[in-house]
Amino acid sequence: MAKKKLKKRPLKQSKKSRPQIPVTLIRVLAILLIVFVTSIGYWFIFDEKIDLNGDNTAYYLLGESIHSGEGYASIWNINQSSHSHYPVGYPMLIALFMFISESMVFIKIMNFVFFLAMLALLFRFTEKLFSNMAIAFWAVLLVALNGHLLRFSTIMMSEIPFLFFSLVVLYALTQLDFTKNPFKQKGIYILIFSLAFAYHIRTIGIAMIFGAGVYLIYRRQWKYLVVTFGGTLLLMLPWAIRNTRLGSSSYINQLLMINPYRSELGNAGFFDLVERVFNNLFRYISLEIPNASMPFLQTVISNGNIYGWITGILFMGLVVFGLYRMQKYRTLILAYLFGIFSILLLWPDVWFGIRFIIPVLPLLVILAVYALFELGKIYQSRFPWSRNIVIMIILGSLFLMAGALKFEKAKANNPYPPAYKNYFRIAKWMKTNTEKNAIVCCRKGSIFNIFSERLTTKYKYTKDSDEIINQLDRYQVDFVVVEQLGYGSTPRYLVPAIQKKLTEISTSDTSKKSGYLFIKI
């Protein structure tokens, strides 16, 4: 009997032999999805108005000064002197952007480009820290939908560019191959430039230098330490010499004062600094950190209430646990966070707000997300659904984050407050009804200059009315604007000086003129 020929059946492919999507393609798709979602959020909350903090207009005018070839000068001020208060880094970027367009809207969009670049780099950095692309994706998506970060990417402020360059520093440190000669690695030059430039964008960048130094010392990479510090200091030296010639740093002076807005209180003593540290610590834990990391709770959390304390302690508990569970680069991250928070806790407690923790907010978020995944891993054997709970928490947070963008949308849609409308109306009136060389004394001189195109000067913060009047006379001020923008310095210092001057005028020869016009709005 002839044997039947058996048909050969095709072998089933094992999972390992099946074609897999390249990891690089998955990474690119993940980053593109993050960019797409972020772009939608950005255009949803975009605000083309000038922000009312005042610093953004100073940055813009300093950039304009560099771009026009006038050097780094306060071109809105009567003295038009060399500027030393704001670091030069961000105005330099603005000056570069101005070669394309001087439009403020364009510069806002350039800030968003930095934000997107920061998110892409944060994805790679998070992936490298935890060796897990899923954690990187969910964590960076939470950062991308954070309304506060998105809001700062629509403002002409230095926070977002600083975030980008600080991440370049951290990522460059993780890319170094310590078995090779430092001079033969491109990464060391990127590291040195980014360290120096981050410091020139924001003075708090000194924490980056501290963090890099601690990490290299921990790794006992003495040659890399010397090269990094030597190169960074070399790049910082020209600006340091320039500012030394101009006088002491205004930031250092303000740091040592009890209240920078009340000079008569003098400098802070030891116990003042201790009190400041505790005030800042309690406020950051109970208010700034929970509000910054969970914007959807901003209507629930207020200064000192129980909800702020609970969410702040829980969130920081996750951050600490995430640091504890880190397998790689823990010393680097810990040193950087320690450097940043050491400066923030010593900062005058009259300066508060989410703005000051923007430089560390993405790191805090990725550490908290990593901690959640680690908790899910720990309890998975006892509770198989624990990982699903973690995903549900993250998805719920993303949904709430997206919903909280309505708060930023409302800010964009709202008109200027009435006090600022009046302030800008006066500035525009001066632009069309006064001589081009008219001099104005006012609060927020840079923003007034934007609308009026007139030189300004700020009154001195002193209770000596004669000193203020002498200052106005010395600068040959033509107009004094008594605004109602909500700053305590105007009623505390300027108004009494004006009242004294008016009293002197009323009791003197009426044929004599005061020399300037008081405008109350």
For residues 470 and 337, state if they share a domain.
no
How does pLDDT run along the chain (521 residues), one tens digit per residue? 445 555 555 555 555 555 677 888 989 999 999 999 999 999 999 999 999 887 899 999 999 999 999 999 999 999 888 888 899 999 999 999 999 999 999 999 999 999 999 999 999 999 999 999 999 999 999 999 999 999 999 999 999 999 999 999 999 999 999 989 999 889 999 999 999 999 999 989 999 999 999 999 999 999 999 999 999 999 999 998 988 888 755 666 677 777 777 776 777 777 778 888 999 999 999 999 999 999 999 888 877 789 999 999 999 999 999 999 998 899 999 999 999 999 899 888 777 788 889 989 999 999 999 999 999 988 877 877 878 899 999 999 999 999 999 999 999 999 999 999 999 999 999 999 999 999 999 888 999 999 999 999 988 888 888 899 898 888 888 899 988 888 888 888 888 888 887 777 665 543 344 455 666 54
Contact (CB, 8 A) for 401 and 369:
no
Helix (H, G, I), strand (E, B) or coil at 509: coil
Q: Domain boundary residue among 382, 411, 440? A: 411
The reply to whether 14 falls in a domain is no
For residues 186 and 246, state if they share a domain.
yes
Q: Please state the three-class secondary structure of 338-375 as a single string.
A: HHHHHHHHHCCCCCCCHHHHCCCHHHHHHHHHHHHHHH
For residues 363 and 482, state if they share a domain.
no
Q: Domain boundary residue among 362, 387, 411? A: 411
- Give DSSP secondary structure letters for 414-431: SPPPHHHHHHHHHHHHHH
Question: Residue length, the chain?
Answer: 521
Contact (CB, 8 A) for 427 and 444:
no
The reply to whether 9 falls in a domain is no
For residues 154 and 192, state if they share a domain.
yes
The domain containing residue 450 runs over which residues? 418-520
| Count of domains for the chain | 2
For residues 114 and 58, state if they share a domain.
yes
CA distances (Å), origin 194, targets 58, 180, 354, 445, 514 = 24, 21, 24, 32, 53
The reply to whether 468 falls in a domain is yes
Q: What is the DSSP letter of 284?
A: I
- Give DSSP secondary structure letters for 421-474: HHHHHHHHHHHHHS-TT-EEE-SSHHHHHHHH--EEEPPPS-S-HHHHHHHHHH
The reply to whether 117 falls in a domain is yes
Q: Domain boundary residue among 362, 377, 411? A: 411
d(CA 232, CA 182): 14
